[in-house]
Amino acid sequence: MKRIGLVIYPGFQALDMAALTVFEFANTLLPEPLYELATVSVDGGPVRSSAGVALESTALAGARYDTLLVGGAIHEPQRQPALEAALGAVADSTRRMASICTGAFILAAAGLMDGKRVTTHWIFGRRLQERHPRLLVDEDKIFVKDGAIWSSAGVTACIDMALAMVEGDLGVDIARQVARAMVVYHRRTGGQSQFSAMAEIEPSSDRVKHALLYARDNLHKALSVEELAAQVHWSPRHFSRMFQAQTGMAPAKAIEKLRVEAAQAMIDQGHSSVGRIAAMTGFGDEERLRRAFLRAFGQPPKVFVHQARRRNDHVYLS
């Protein structure tokens, strides 16, 4: 039996309980439950969340844990020396420790993230790096695993991280079944950006939104201005003018963003042929894909392929 503990403290974000729900659903898919779930705090007893709802908890020092997940808060948590000391005391006997959202500030203050690559909610990424310069903060990732230390972005990203943990424990099929049971469309990989190209572009009119949705679903096509304009029954000239006015960029630039995002998602999902990725996302050839990645990230796609391969190797070997 693997004991999974969600570490809570006054003002914690109640939504982080969703991480425990992932392990709960995994139990229902097994002949015998694998996970024992608990909410824990420094001293035990009721702990009030930021929403005003109190949860019962057991004392952190009272048992050994396979996994400890430090919950986050809507704001940066206050320093909590007693909790930091308690986490430090159990770190060596805990197989994996994780932070959810701003819970990274607590694990970092406990000295458990020094030298590790970590993430947090994008709003707090820069502040976390400034507070704890020994960390390597990647504020754009959904979740990050560096050895025994895991960390996730904010809000629902804890579900993605917990699904990755279940996948490491029980395999991809169980993780997919859990995702379906929880009505999660699919597990976002850790390397996926916290941001979406569609959300970033944010046009104001339904016609431009429709054109972008059409583009996203047909990235393998050439997607000329004429084709996009025809989808919304505008002239190409009027479409280009309205698109630029509403999004601040030319249609070609927006489509490149969608293509880069799709290519990055394919890499995270395990695709390793840069030529095939270029063909499927509409770049046409590797060189165009390479130039687009250099503009977007400052690195060629092969770097991301190697990173994804190492990440996947770590998940299955852990």
Please report whether residue 288 resides in a domain: yes
Please report whether residue 220 resides in a domain: yes
Whole domain around residue 89: which residue ranges? 2-181
Confirm if 7 and 60 have CB atoms less than 8 A apart.
yes
Q: Which pLDDT score, from 0 to 100, does residue 128 have?
A: 95
Please report whether residue 188 resides in a domain: no
Q: How far apart are CA 171 and CA 305, in angstroms?
A: 22
Query: 312 to each of 305, 308, 309, how far by Cα in Å?
Result: 11, 6, 5
Please report whether residue 186 resides in a domain: no
Q: How far apart are CA 30 and CA 208, in angstroms?
A: 47
pLDDT digits (tens, 9 = 90+) for 83-135: 999 999 999 999 999 999 999 999 999 999 999 999 999 889 889 999 999 99
- The Cβ of residue 236 has, within 10 Å, a number of other Cβ atoms equal to 15
For residue 29, give every residue at least 6 positions away whose Cβ sits within 8 Å of its Cβ, in sequence order, or none.
Answer: 174, 177, 178, 181
Do residues 20 and 46 both lie within one domain? yes
| Of the residues 181, 206, 222, the one at which a domain ends | 181
| Beta pairing class for 149-152 and 96-100 | parallel
Do residues 152 and 202 both lie within one domain? no
Do residues 39 and 93 both lie within one domain? yes
Please report whether residue 189 resides in a domain: no
Please report whether residue 109 resides in a domain: yes
Residues in the chain: 318
| Of the residues 181, 212, 245, the one at which a domain ends | 181
Query: Into how many domains does the chain fold?
Result: 2
| Of the residues 148, 181, 214, the one at which a domain ends | 181
Confirm if 60 and 87 have CB atoms less than 8 A apart.
yes
Do residues 157 and 44 both lie within one domain? yes
Q: How far apart are CA 302 and CA 310, in angstroms?
A: 12
Q: Which pLDDT score, from 0 to 100, does residue 317 have?
A: 43
Q: What is the CATH number of the domain that holds 205?
A: 1.10.10.60
Q: How far apart are CA 203 and CA 296, in angstroms?
A: 21
Do residues 175 and 211 both lie within one domain? no
pLDDT-derived band at 186 (thresholds 50, 70, 90) equals low
Do residues 234 and 114 both lie within one domain? no
Picking from 279, 313, 15, 38, the residue whose alpha carbon sits closest to that of residue 155 is 15
Q: How far apart are CA 141 and CA 136, in angstroms?
A: 12
Please report whether residue 192 resides in a domain: no
**Higher confidence at residue 189 or residue 162?**
162
Q: What is the CATH number of the domain that holds 142?
A: 3.40.50.880
Q: Which pLDDT score, from 0 to 100, does residue 194 have?
A: 59
Do residues 111 and 8 both lie within one domain? yes
Q: Which pair of tokens denotes residue 99?
A: 């932070």
Do residues 168 and 31 both lie within one domain? yes
Q: In this model, does residue 315 exceed pLDDT 80?
A: no
Do residues 133 and 237 both lie within one domain? no
Residue 276, SS3?
helix
Please report whether residue 297 resides in a domain: yes
Query: 67 to each of 19, 26, 27, 223, 280, how far by Cα in Å?
Result: 12, 15, 15, 47, 39
pLDDT-derived band at 141 (thresholds 50, 70, 90) equals confident
Do residues 18 and 106 both lie within one domain? yes
E-strand ranges in 148-305 read: 149-152
Confirm if 152 and 142 have CB atoms less than 8 A apart.
yes
Q: Which pair of tokens denotes residue 295?
A: 């503009």
Q: Which pair of tokens denotes residue 121?
A: 């909610």
Do residues 154 and 286 both lie within one domain? no
Do residues 152 and 99 both lie within one domain? yes
- Kindly report which listed range (27-31, 62-66, 203-207) carries the lowest average pLDDT score: 203-207
Q: In this model, does residue 4 exceed pLDDT 80?
A: yes
